[in-house]
Structure 1
């Protein structure tokens, strides 16, 4: 009797030992059907990847809801299968498209994994971009003011006032249609002539330091009175440090590599 009892206990322990790993592989049992933990892991991976692309962390409450979501999907899927929806032509067509999308996604992910952009490659690209931003030899920047009015006669009147000793800044604050610069006495700051519309830029480059246009300058915006305060050789904008843009730059380069790979596949394919 004792031997039988010991044998039964041993069998139970062995069954439990095998059952534990099996349960660890499942999220739950729904209507007698196991829901594999791999399904939960895959969904969690999707959520984390999406969050990484947007630069946002996964909220703790979302992670806690994933198990319920996986179980709910199993419940709904079982009901759909009970109704035979998996056998309809519409479902099969959608599954074919879904299979294509997933497989293509795996292809691109595999390519990206095998062709990472190194820090050294990103640094070379960074240096090229910085060099491209350097202004061409002889390029000038101009510090100017302007007063913008609707009518040519008004512009001529302002020029006359300036010749009689009127202060440019005061007139700009009172009469300029360009309220943004007008509030600052017509100040436009430093900029190359190419920044402005062609008529304005051409008139600006003809002025000498401290000089004001003798005649109104007509553009699509109205009539301008322009004063050149100063000029200098153009300077390249201060670039951000490499480490600050490295991640973004590597991502852009990887996207460019992937686009090139896609184009190569298209070109090699025989389409009849």
Structure 2
């Protein structure tokens, strides 16, 4: 009987080891096997990545939930396919809508990646808003009531020496200022409705309107408290908000450009 050489024995052992390790290597790529079908770990990694991008922290608990979800999906998927649902018209219609949605989303994601809002663009926009906000801010107090008679009665009380602030707390129906004695803080005069702004502009510091001022909200008693040069936040304080708004505007412009250059006989409703 011919004996194996040491070289032949070593080669045979390598072949056996390789045959044993092959299934281990394959199983390392899968998270499970469901009804004989492997569920690849790549699915888990892809879904986990989506969850993290949406803002969820990557934790062992989240990873376990994602694995469970992927395996459950495979079970449900196999059952749906077994019942022939993949051939139904409803399924095909929904798949087409899903394909369109995903492709359109990728179109806008691709545009955003290739056309980011730059620091220079943000600073230019910031300076534009800052220039528009230049001027004077005014601080006013007001008491807002529903009818003219009550407003006139309150004016009389204030002229007789009662506290404007106390009457505002007990009578004003403006939830944003009543608790603070009618204080509206500093604001651009143009931010008020026309009737309110016009009445305020005629007052000097410390003066109050002698007659109720009617607006769409009711009847106001207005007192001019103070004025100062317009304040504007520093760039870094509004940078994130500014960037978000500019990204949205760029995306809207991109959408409109596609719509404008498309050749169609369709008439949009707006």
Deviation, structure 1 residue 47? 1.7
Task: Quote the Cα distance in structure 2 between the aligned partners of 1:186 and 1:206.
Answer: 19
- Is structure 2 residue 159 aligned with structure 1 residue 192? no
Change in Cα spacing, 1:22 to 1:258, as seen in structure 2 (3 Å) is: farther
- The match for 2:233 is 238
Change in Cα spacing, 1:22 to 1:194, as seen in structure 2 (3 Å) is: same
Change in Cα spacing, 1:147 to 1:127, as seen in structure 2 (3 Å) is: same
Residue 102 of structure 2: SS of its match in structure 1? Answer: helix
Change in Cα spacing, 1:9 to 1:188, as seen in structure 2 (3 Å) is: closer
Residue 241 of structure 1: SS of its match in structure 2? Answer: helix
The partner residue of 1:33 within 28, 37, 45 is: 37
Task: Quote the Cα distance in structure 2 between the aligned partners of 1:143 and 1:177.
Answer: 17
Confirm or deny: 8 A CA contact 2:172 2:182 kept in the other structure: no
- The match for 2:164 is 169
Change in Cα spacing, 1:128 to 1:12, as seen in structure 2 (3 Å) is: same
CA RMSD, 1 decimal? 3.6
- The match for 1:89 is 89
- The match for 1:211 is 207
Unaligned runs of 5+ in 1: none
Residue 31 of structure 2: SS of its match in structure 1? Answer: strand
Unaligned runs of 5+ in 2: 266-270
Confirm or deny: 8 A CA contact 2:31 2:41 kept in the other structure: yes
TM-score normalized with structure 2 length: 0.74
Task: Quote the Cα distance in structure 2 between the aligned partners of 1:174 and 1:241.
Answer: 37
Task: Quote the Cα distance in structure 2 between the aligned partners of 1:30 and 1:16.
Answer: 22
Task: Quote the Cα distance in structure 2 between the aligned partners of 1:128 and 1:270.
Answer: 33
